[in-house]
Homo-oligomer: A and B are copies of this chain.
Amino acid sequence: MASEGARRLKHWGWGYEDQQPSQQQVEAAAKAIREHLGFGAGEVERPLPLEEVQLRRARLEAPASLSAICRNDPYERASHALGKSYRDVVRGFRGEFSHPPDVVAYPREEAEVESVLEWCAEAGAVAIAFGGGTSVVGGIEPVLVDERPVVTIDLRCLDQVLDIDEHSLAARIAAGATGPGLEEQLRPRGLTLRHFPQSFEYSTLGGWVATRAGGHFATGPTHIDDLVESVRAITPRGAWESRRLPGSGAGPSPDRMLIGSEGILGVITEAWVRVRRRPGHRAAATVAFASFDGGAEAVRGLTQSGLEPSNCRLLDPGEAALTGAASDGSALLVLGFESADHALGPWLDRALEICAEHGGAPTGEPVVRRPGATADAARGGAEGAWRGAFLQAPYLRDTMVAAGILSETFETAITWDRFGPFVAGVRRAAERAVTEACGGGRVTCRITHAYPDGAAPYFTVLAPARRGAELEQWAEVKAAATEAIVSAGGTVTHHHAVGRDHRPGYDRQRPDPFAAALRAAKAELDPAGMLNPGVLIDP
């Protein structure tokens, strides 16, 4: 449980309270960002202090048997009321917590998860499983169509790596373990999960499994789906635990029904996941292309070659310029291989040949390192810079809100045959919406994950926000992007999940009989509809 005196996460934005820069620092950063972008509001806003936040009165109190693990003070309720999308941060910043949970429970062991669920059932309450709270799709926001009280179950106390099987390269990890937390426990054994979503610092294993998070690898096993060996969850009908199996052909995969279930079927408490030895061999290069489409063709060639680079991220010229990586109008490919087993020279050599076949030229000498090089050097310049900027982006979002800059990202996936026109169409739709809603702004794109049969383009929108109208602006841009993606055959999300925000697109995308089957499965396991209602399917 969040004990007194421990570091507290900001109740309204990204990171810990002690990481929040001073107002002076925020103002300096805002000035720099505005100059770089050419827009942003004049005044730098301050977040509403927690003391001034008015919360709806709590409608439920924990019973004595659970009072030791339950909290209902304003900090706890506010900091569990929203996710971390731009829309969430704007509301948190202004103190608009319209749907706070009534109680936040911190189970310390799985039996307490069961007890909390039993109490919720008796009390007619809704139960929302909560990992790092980093959802950017309204996945943990207690918005209901009815008046039931809400208990948010924060799993952060279940944070242990419970078992390590070095022989099979697998680890049993409790659902509340964060990225750094679990990596720290794996490191002494020379192991790593290597799942680094952008939310890595705060998000949790259980959250990744529940939302089909996308991670480190740009090709091959990118989704957490591929790393899961078995899952355990508590449902209102009892514990759901699959066997540890490297592969199985016994009926539809039970794990694949829980993976992506976003808390509507049960509370995931732990999983066996596939880990690997820490890679010592690295080979990396940055390759410039005259155009994004040319670079995308190289990415297609790379994914279809069977070489499986671990990094293969393509920035469009706008994104490359924005991040300071290239200012000459090039698209940039950040390419990397890693292995704990073998030197990667032949892999990188062939990959650079494929890039050259598509007009790509390395921007400097490739970096090839063997085990023993220091970690920073071994990571390679461009790749290391990319990763640093990647993890800093959510912190920057908080400053953008203060600076009056609308900052939003959306992502999808599409097969290669439709890739070019699809990206162009989504970009046009987003640019049009940004112009209409904000009077201008920038839309950039990168490929974050790529497969032999397609890729996942990831779009970033930066635009001038109008104070007080941010949520309407956001909704307009979001609706236009979703419409463009879903009507052109893409997926409403490649790795951000569905939550509540993506429902309009998701409802069109999924097969109707599947929706009926999922609804029936949920009704069977959760007849009271108490588990995270409104996410994925109607309550």
Contact = CB atoms under 8 A, between A and B. Distances in A.
Contact of A260 (B241, B251, B261, B414): B251
A454 B272 CA distance: 13
A489 interface: yes
Interface string A161-173: 0000101111000
A247 B266 contact: no
Interface stretch (A369-377, A460-468, A512-520): A512-520
A262 interface: yes
A250 B502 contact: yes
B414 A246 contact: yes
Q: Which of A229, A274, A413, A453 has the most CB of B within 10 A?
A: A453
Interface in A489-536: 489-498, 502, 506, 509-514, 516-525, 536
A313 B293 CA distance: 41
Interface stretch (A13-21, A27-35, A207-215): A207-215
Interface string A231-271: 00101011111111111111111101111111001100000
A222 interface: yes
Interface stretch (A145-153, A304-312, A390-398): A304-312
Contacts of A223: 247, 249
Interface string A442-457: 0000000101111110
Interface size class of A (residues with CB under 8 A): 35 or more
Interface stretch (A55-63, A339-347, A433-441): A339-347
Interface string A214-231: 100000001101000100
A529 B119 CA distance: 36
Nearest to A347: B346
Given A249-B494, A256-B253, A521-B520, A170 B415 contact: yes
A427 B169 CA distance: 25
Interface in A403-420: 413-417
A494 B250 CA distance: 7
A274 B350 CA distance: 23
Contacts of A307: 341-342
A518 B250 CA distance: 13
A452 B491 CA distance: 30
Given A513-B266, A521-B521, A246 B454 contact: yes
B489 A243 contact: yes
Shortest beta-carbon contacts, A-B, top 8: A246-B454, A520-B524, A256-B256, A517-B521, A212-B249, A246-B451, A254-B514, A305-B341
22 contacts: A165-B415, A165-B416, A165-B417, A212-B249, A238-B513, A242-B511, A242-B514, A244-B415, A244-B489, A245-B491, A246-B456, A249-B497, A250-B491, A250-B498, A251-B261, A251-B510, A252-B261, A254-B514, A274-B452, A305-B341, A306-B308, A519-B524
